[in-house]
Amino acid sequence: MKRYKLILMGCILSFFTLLFCKNPTKPENHAPLILSLKVFPEVINLSDSVIVICEAKDIDGDTLVYDWITDSRLRIKGSQYSWLYHTSENTRIFYPTSSVNLPVDTVWVQCGVRDVKGGSDRQVIRFVVKEELD
């Protein structure tokens, strides 16, 4: 009988512990948010370059990294490929390649922003490459 009372008291204590004590949980991570993705200038010719600026924030204050991706018609300064991952810079310079379809072509750049805790956001921006500016 004494044993059953101890088991019952243990169950009651466990119940109240679960009911009134909250287990600590790890803080929730909020994904970063791209506020704007801008390109300057919006129209270029084959011998020009553009700068793309990604303005982003993370309400948790996490460090952000930027991933830059484009099609094969553009070259990213600092990379021999059409992508550049895990950079700390929120700006990048892009150059048209000979793959651009002239007299006018629309090309694109995607910026992805990530915190180091798994949150991310991405946006794409397009601009025009012309054979000759008017």
* CATH, domain 33-130, list 2.130.10.10, 2.30.30.30, 3.30.200.20, 2.60.40.10: 2.60.40.10
Predicted confidence at residue 106, as pLDDT, reads: 95
Lowest mean pLDDT among 1-5, 57-61, 118-122: 1-5
Domain boundaries, the chain: 33-130
Q: Is the pLDDT of residue 127 over 80?
A: yes
90: which strand partners?
Answer: none
Is the Cα torsion angle 29, 92, 81, 108 positive or negative in sign? positive
- pLDDT tens digit sequence for 28-82: 899 999 999 999 999 999 999 999 999 999 999 999 999 999 988 999 999 989 9
Tokens 């084959």 sit on residue: 46
